[in-house]
Structure 1
């Protein structure tokens, strides 16, 4: 085996070992969601790409003959199609799980890759991409396969990025961006590989892209509150600081705190308290979903939430406030009911940083909470 081929195989084996480690971590995770299952399939398909790519480099035409070399090329390119298809399913599942499993969704996501796979199966006879010519394999048209595959990827990535503009979750938006730009680096190195043979450029690029997706997914998991499914404090400070730095007009911060939440925990138990928190978070997500710019929602701690909205008018933020107060008040879980105290602060240039911004809104929330308690005491005394 030539030195170049040896390096090629060693790099591919290294990529396979990294994928095995990632696969073991995903399989050992307690998270058995659909996203995790698709991740397993995607990792397995990419491992097949590396394995078939290595076999094609080891068993050359001189060793196995042109016919077997064509079969190995078919195995590699079909594995590449399946790996790319699993990426497309993962991308759109992250955005819309329900649509992904519909017949229409499955047809749209899989049919282009099935067509390319069929073309690969027929290529020895139709001479579409590569074929045997005597004692050698003609790869003069394999660039068509690469262009088709990456063309489909870029179309799907463009659609996903366009839809991503409407995503309200800051960390989720970042994950979708990372998954969507997955084909960029491999596409660049795929073009390079057409001119510089003997380098596993696509394999290395795919591994880098997969690692970036995995790390972004881990970041998403640690930044989402497991109970309420909204952001936790991990990215809140960074998000507010970025918005302050942008000096956008109409930047508001809202601090929300449930009234007498301790009473719910003491009287009905912590499970009911958890249900109340999950209900409030669902109300916030629903109310913010129709707002311009999709406000950022985070659980600040305990029974306290924060909403950051930018680029909106005062009448819109007041409407959001009223909507939240009304929908929280109709909580069906307990006889006690729910209410929320809200402190609203608009950004101005006297605000020093994100801590100052939060503290001003928190003071207004505390003032409203005390006013409610005072009103209840007065009403109780009069009765």
Structure 2
């Protein structure tokens, strides 16, 4: 088979896979901010594959663009790779609920390597720092090519390490496969570019990227089964799995505790401000749980309706009063930030797992008793 034709066909297959994922992402009913970043990753890599094919045609004499045209193709390829890596970093960090990637300041700091890359690529037209093209249209890597390489793969490596650490945290029990998929994104393209050095006639870098994105997308679909669609917390099925697992591996020094959370006067919010605002209130409770207990070993879940659950193996320092105080303080802070037209508070009940308890429902019933007392006190 003609090596050039094989090169084009493999790149074309990668483009087709990524284009299908892109279409499914945009047509999804729950397109969120982080999915937009994922779509940007796909678009950047589709563009990169197209430029790779264009350069293959030029390099094999099927098109003649001159020095400037050849430089533009390679420069745009590097630019697409840099933009794609930056977008992947933001997407991956937001999936991991990183505050850094969710603020304007964090995004600006994250973009600094990308800005360096763009400047170096632009200046290379005269300096040849990253790449150069001679009068005959031949392409050469510049002396500072390693800087470009480190920027592109550095984004993936940093967030991959973060995901790998997060995969083994107790609070990420239900999303472990998702974290591992995120961590793998730095591996497959690197393997592809390494193998391509030995098989230059096959675009294995494109294959590695397409395979990694496909894996992440498939895992994304799987996570929809285990996450509550409104709040993006674990759903009741994942809660039952987690509690069952922890009951089988209990630590006498760190007893298993379940905190059940009920939103006060939630029906009044729905009746007065409408169900859309009611949904926003539930999302704010989920955000308060995430921010209030960030970095802890709590397992967060939506049990159903306006009821949420925290599960942890903790000592007495994380008792009922402390959890309630933290949660309601966060609800007040988020409510003020959102300029909500109503106060949002929650009551909390707690139960500690005993030898007589065998299932999630046993813990829920015990926690419900304390929750009832808390609501009566209010």
* Secondary structure of the corresponding residue to residue 79 of structure 1: helix
Q: Distance in 2 between matches of 1:370 and 1:33?
A: 36
Deviation at 1:114, TM superposition (A): 2.9
Q: Structure 1 residue 52 and structure 2 residue 51: aligned?
A: yes
TM-score (structure 2 length as normaliser): 0.75
Counterpart in the other structure of 1:201: 204
Unaligned runs of 5+ in 1: 377-383
Q: Distance in 2 between matches of 1:286 and 1:129?
A: 42
Deviation at 1:84, TM superposition (A): 1.5
Q: Distance in 1 between matches of 2:273 and 2:79?
A: 55
Q: 1:371–1:64: structure 2 CA closer, same or farther, 3 Å change rule? A: closer
* Secondary structure of the corresponding residue to residue 294 of structure 1: coil
Deviation at 1:33, TM superposition (A): 3.2
Q: Structure 1 residue 345 and structure 2 residue 346: aligned?
A: no
Whether the aligned pair in 1 keeps the contact of 2:351 and 2:367 (CA below 8 Å) is yes
Unaligned runs of 5+ in 2: none
Query: What do residues 312-370 of structure 1 show as CA deviations (whole Å, max 9, x unaligned)?
Result: 21342344455479879x999999x987573512365x76xxxx231331342355578
Query: What do residues 140-177 of structure 1 show as CA deviations (whole Å, max 9, x unaligned)?
Result: 65963434532354245446766898995655676455
Counterpart in the other structure of 1:90: 91
Q: Distance in 2 between matches of 1:206 and 1:269?
A: 46
* Secondary structure of the corresponding residue to residue 301 of structure 2: strand
How do 1:246-265 residues align onto structure 2 when only pairs under 5 Å count?
246-248=249-251, 249-254=253-258, 256=260, 258=262
Counterpart in the other structure of 2:241: 238
How do 1:264-283 residues align onto structure 2 when only pairs under 5 Å count?
271=275, 281=286
Counterpart in the other structure of 1:288: 293
TM-score (structure 1 length as normaliser): 0.74
Whether the aligned pair in 2 keeps the contact of 1:61 and 1:136 (CA below 8 Å) is no
Q: What RMSD, in angstroms, separates the aligned Cα atoms of the two structures?
A: 4.4
How do 1:51-90 residues align onto structure 2 when only pairs under 5 Å count?
51-64=50-63, 67=67, 68-90=69-91
Whether the aligned pair in 1 keeps the contact of 2:289 and 2:327 (CA below 8 Å) is no
Whether the aligned pair in 2 keeps the contact of 1:230 and 1:281 (CA below 8 Å) is yes
Q: Distance in 2 between matches of 1:80 and 1:325?
A: 42
How do 1:32-181 residues align onto structure 2 when only pairs under 5 Å count?
32-64=31-63, 67=67, 68-94=69-95, 95-96=97-98, 100=102, 102=104, 104-123=105-124, 125-133=126-134, 135=136, 137-139=138-140, 144=146, 145-158=148-161, 170=173, 175=178, 178-181=181-184
Counterpart in the other structure of 1:380: none
Whether the aligned pair in 2 keeps the contact of 1:261 and 1:273 (CA below 8 Å) is no
Bigger radius of gyration, 1 or 2?
1
Whether the aligned pair in 2 keeps the contact of 1:287 and 1:324 (CA below 8 Å) is yes
Q: Distance in 1 between matches of 2:151 and 2:159?
A: 13
Say which is worse superposed, 192-201 or 61-70, in terms of deviation.
61-70
